[in-house]
Amino acid sequence: MLVVAIAFVVFLALGVPVVFVLGASAVLALITTTEVPLAIVSQRVFAGLNSFTLMAIPFFVFAGVIMDAGGISRRIVAFASALIGWIVGSLYQVSCVAAAGLAAISGSGSADTAAVSAIMQPQLRQRRYDVDFGAALIACAGSMAQVIPPSLTMIILAVVSNVSIGTLFIAGIVPGFLCILLLMVCAYVFAKRRGDTYRDAEPFTWSRLLRTGWAATPAMVMPFLILGGILGGAFTPTEAAAVAATYGLLVGFFVYRELRLSHLPALILRTASLSAAVMLIIGTASVFSWLIANANVPQMLRDWLLSVSDSPLVFLLIVNLLLLFVGMFMETIAAILILVPVLAPIAIQLGIDPIHFSVIVVMNFAIGTATPPYGVSLFVASSVAGRTVMQVTRKLGLPLIAMFTVLIIITYISDVPLFLPRMFGLME
């Protein structure tokens, strides 16, 4: 196991992409420390991908790509502007609400961040807002696509943890929107202190709200279609993803009429590229996870954690610190596939509800995507804004306080994430 750990750290330090780090470390360990044939690598990769539930990933990715290309992003931003554009720091507020709306469609934090940044950053510059704070805020709000359903991260986590995807989706609603609300409060506090520049709010009119709301209605139907279908037993999460993709095509072709048949090859190619990257990580990480399990690492880690304390509260504190640290340096999916199979059984043994634990994990990694040095949402927001990561990082303080506050709340008040699943009768 020492060979795996050393190889893993060295490859990461050399800047090798994480998907190759996982595969190379596993192969090197098999060659040097075991007599297991290398053929096991291909078998474990296939076993890791041989899941009907994972088929939801390319369908949800396709739905997000279609909805973005079909003009959904602009209409959601327009509706958000009509709804809350009258508040101090209106462009910041609109960015948060638009990010929440797109999160309920795309399921991808980086895609959400890119879409909101592309639309809002030119307006932030034009109205002389602080662009760095805007990028930091959008990165944090965009990362909530991992928490607000339908989340691709939650699908993978549910498969790894063997929990219900539908229940996990519902459990993410309150934490996700609570975080968006606190980010809006942070934006208000920041703007309130900055003078008249941030008070050029647009007047609220019912006519504008109704007009933009009507235009955005087809987009806002999708989350209800997905969650309603799953909760109502009409289809499985994988089938819900296929329904969402089909619905996106119908909206793009026949409602907004911004999609053309000539657009489909490029959209399919983009979907295949994004999905393949995720699937490749899942496949190679399954080999890595198998090696860790064979080396009895979960048992050793369990014994160590229980020797420190058998308190669930202390365990959750340690888990939060570990996941926050790992999330700063490692890609989310790889981290989930490596750490969750080790930590989830310990949480269950300590009496922690698996859905509650899963929401905590997702929230930690959502924060990780918005923090340096390797937060993907932070990189996307900085790039679109034309600023360096360091410039944007200096303005991360307030948004991160909001996210950490939500993390503490959902960690130690389990009723916050579990309220809705219990209300819908999905758990006791």
pLDDT digits (tens, 9 = 90+) for 193-233: 877 667 766 677 888 889 988 988 887 887 788 878 877 77
192/324 Cα distance (integer angstroms)? 30
Buried b (16+ CB within 10 A) or exposed e, 380-412: bbbbbbebebeebbebbebbbebbeebbebbbe
Per-residue confidence at 33, pLDDT binned at 50, 70, 90? low
**Least confident piece of the model among 33-37, 116-120, 329-333, 389-393:** 33-37
Q: Could you give the angle at the alpha carbon of 57 between the alpha carbons of 348 and 181, nearest 5°?
A: 70
Q: Could you give the angle at the alpha carbon of 292 between the alpha carbons of 32 and 349, nearest 5°?
A: 160
Angle between helices 18-33 and 332-349 (to 10 degrees): 60
Residue 2 included in any domain: no
**For residues 358 and 410, is the Cβ–Cβ distance under 8 A?**
no
Determine the pLDDT at residue 201: 61
29/288 Cα distance (integer angstroms)? 10
pLDDT: which is higher, 242 or 183? 183
**Residue span of the structural domain in which 294 resides:** 52-423
Determine the pLDDT at residue 243: 86
92/378 Cα distance (integer angstroms)? 16
Between the alpha carbon of residue 274 and those of residues 8, 110, 245, 279, 361, the distances in Å are 24, 11, 15, 9, 23
Total domains in the chain come to: 1
Residue 320 included in any domain: yes
Percent of the chain with pLDDT over 90: 18
The shares of helix, strand and coil residues in the chain, as percent rounded to the nearest 5, are: 80, 0, 20
Residue 217 included in any domain: yes
Residue 25 included in any domain: no
DSSP string of 278-338, one letter each residue = HHHHHHHHHHHHHHHHHTTHHHHHHHHHHHH---HHHHHHHHHHHHHHHHHHS-HHHHHHH
- 38 by DSSP, 3-state: which? coil
Residue linked to tokens 């990780």: 368
113/183 Cα distance (integer angstroms)? 15
pLDDT: which is higher, 359 or 380? 359
Q: What is the pLDDT of residues 379-423, one digit of tens each?
A: 888 888 888 888 888 889 899 999 999 999 999 999 999 999 998
pLDDT reading at 176 higher than 80:
yes
Determine the pLDDT at residue 4: 65
Residue 40 included in any domain: no
Q: What are phi and psi of 389, to 5 degrees?
A: -60, -35
pTM of the model: 0.83
Determine the pLDDT at residue 173: 92
Determine the pLDDT at residue 1: 58
**Cis ω before 373 (30° cut-off from 0):** yes
Per-residue confidence at 34, pLDDT binned at 50, 70, 90? low
**Least confident piece of the model among 10-14, 56-60, 134-138, 360-364:** 10-14
Residue 1 included in any domain: no
328/179 Cα distance (integer angstroms)? 19
Please give the structure tokens belonging to residue 105. Answer: 């469609």
Q: Alpha-carbon dihedral of residues 352, 357, 358, 363, nearest 10 degrees?
A: 170
Residue 4 included in any domain: no
Q: What is the pLDDT of residues 40-98, one digit of tens each?
A: 777 777 777 777 777 777 887 787 778 777 777 778 878 888 887 777 778 888 888 88
pLDDT reading at 288 higher than 80:
no
Q: Which residues contact 8 (CB under 8 A, 6 or more apart)?
A: 21, 22, 25
DSSP string of 219-274, one letter each residue = HHHHHHHHHHHHHTTSS-HHHHHHHHHHHHHHIIIIIS----GGGHHHHHHHHHHH
